[in-house]
């Protein structure tokens, strides 16, 4: 996790580290993150718990409706309340009061926790004891000024979808597949694939919102700078690779210029030095707990050394078949 912040330790990347690398026993952190991003640009920096309860419970109700298992524990009075609200048998004011009483018990304390300690950057201050609320910090407001709140919202939502899918299926084996037609990561259910989340939103945070090759800024929503989902080792070389070329390990987000511009990669094999970057990115995914962790480990190896050897061998097999190596032209400082 520290390796993620060693390069470009920006406020946005500190936020990403909380969402992408935290261990989750319930999905409350994601609901709080979505709520904070929604309220980051409000005039008053103090948020009462009854104000925070509205977006917090709304996001959880939406996810409970789509995926009932939102925690690792078998029972939860608060999640039961969300189910009753969805069924129309719990009025909104009662859901608000229950959210204030039950919903924030642990998540506010644990939000900034990463590993054994809290991050040095805080996005809110806990003032429940004095004023029954939280106070937004300049760091959270700064995300609005950086114009990354929608990007971080999409990344949070993608992470949430992946975690709840793993809980729902109870999986500890390869789970994630790439559905190129839908532009999504998918799971196989009863011999059919069901989309889980956008592959762009799922991978963007681990690349810190940058093109894998040139480190230029990329977008994950439709528009002129929409990122391409690129096969690092070209899809056309799949016969020479001893693993799934469509696997998450081989998918990166690229700007359009690097992927298919006049001096772009196209069907070429990236230079060996860039392979080490792929290993670094994949290790970020490994540090992110299920299901991408399990998927990558089963695809490429159970240890960091084994995964590095897998990539080296796959690159070597492809390099034997191809001549020229492709080198990107960096347009921004190294992001990872």
Does pLDDT of 174 surpass 60? no
Q: Higher confidence at residue 324 or residue 153? A: 153
Angle of CA points 39, 44, 49, to nearest 5°: 65
- 115 sits in the region (left: phi over 0; alpha: psi -120 to 50; else beta) called left
For residue 84, what are the CA distances in angstroms to 29, 32, 63, 160? 21, 20, 14, 22
Q: What is the pLDDT of residue 68?
A: 93
Residue 9, both tokens:
């330790």
Give the model confidence (pLDDT) of 32-71 as tens digits: 999 999 999 999 999 999 999 999 999 999 999 999 999 9
Dihedral sign for Cα atoms in the order 93, 96, 97, 98: positive
pLDDT digits (tens, 9 = 90+) for 196-246: 999 999 999 999 999 999 999 999 999 999 999 999 999 888 877 766 888
Report how far residue 213's alpha carbon sits from residue 310's, in angstroms, rounded to the nearest whole number. Answer: 21
The angle, 0 to 180 degrees and rounded to 10, between the axes of the packed helices 77-86 and 49-66 is: 70
C-alpha to C-alpha distance for 47 and 43, rounded to whole angstroms = 10
pLDDT of residue 243: 64
pLDDT tens-digit series, residues 112-141: 999 888 999 999 999 999 999 999 999 999
- Percent share of the chain, pLDDT over 70: 97
The pLDDT tens digits of the residues spanning 94-117 come to 999 999 999 999 999 999 999 888
Q: Please give the pLDDT value at position 320.
A: 84
Whether pLDDT at 25 is above 80:
yes
Among 40, 157, 38, 58, smallest CA distance to 99 is for 58
**What average pLDDT does the chain have?**
92
At 51 the pLDDT is 98
pLDDT of the residue at 169: 81
The whole-number average pLDDT for the span 143-161 is: 95
The lowest-confidence range among 11-20, 259-268, 294-303, 317-326 is 317-326
Quick one: average pLDDT of 300-318?
A: 94
């Amino acid at each position: 996790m520290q390796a993620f912040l060693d390069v470009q330790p920006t406020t946005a990347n500190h936020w990403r580290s909380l969402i992408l690398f935290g261990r989750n026993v319930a999905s409350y952190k994601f609901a709080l993150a979505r709520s904070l991003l929604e309220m980051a640009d409000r005039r008053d920096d103090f948020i009462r718990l009854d104000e925070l309860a509205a977006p917090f419970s709304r996001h959880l109700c939406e996810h409970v409706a789509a995926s009932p298992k939102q925690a690792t524990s078998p029972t939860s009075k608060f999640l039961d309340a969300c189910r009753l609200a969805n069924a129309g048998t719990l009025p909104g004011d009662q859901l608000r009061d229950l959210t204030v009483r039950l919903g924030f018990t642990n998540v506010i304390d644990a939000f900034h926790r990463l590993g054994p300690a809290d991050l040095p950057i805080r996005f809110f201050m806990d003032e429940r004891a004095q004023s029954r609320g939280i106070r937004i910090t300049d760091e959270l407001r700064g995300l609005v000024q950086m114009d990354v709140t929608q990007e971080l919202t999409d990344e949070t939502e993608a992470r949430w979808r992946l975690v709840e899918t793993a809980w729902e299926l109870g999986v500890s084996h390869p789970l994630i597949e790439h559905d190129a037609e839908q532009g999504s990561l998918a799971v196989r259910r009863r011999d059919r694939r069901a989309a889980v989340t956008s592959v762009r939103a799922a991978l963007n945070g681990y690349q810190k919102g940058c093109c894998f090759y040139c480190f230029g800024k990329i977008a994950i929503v439709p528009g002129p700078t929409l990122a391409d989902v690129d096969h690092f080792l070209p899809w056309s070389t799949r016969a020479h690779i001893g693993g799934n070329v469509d696997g998450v390990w081989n998918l990166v987000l690229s700007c359009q210029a690097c992927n298919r511009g006049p001096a772009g990669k196209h069907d070429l094999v990236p230079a060996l030095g860039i392979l080490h970057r792929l290993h670094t990115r994949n290790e970020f995914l490994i540090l992110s707990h299920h299901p991408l962790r399990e998927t990558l480990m089963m695809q490429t190896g159970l240890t960091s050394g084994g995964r590095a050897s897998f990539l080296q061998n796959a690159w070597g097999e492809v390099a034997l078949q191809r001549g020229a190596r492709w080198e990107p032209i960096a347009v921004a400082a190294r992001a990872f």
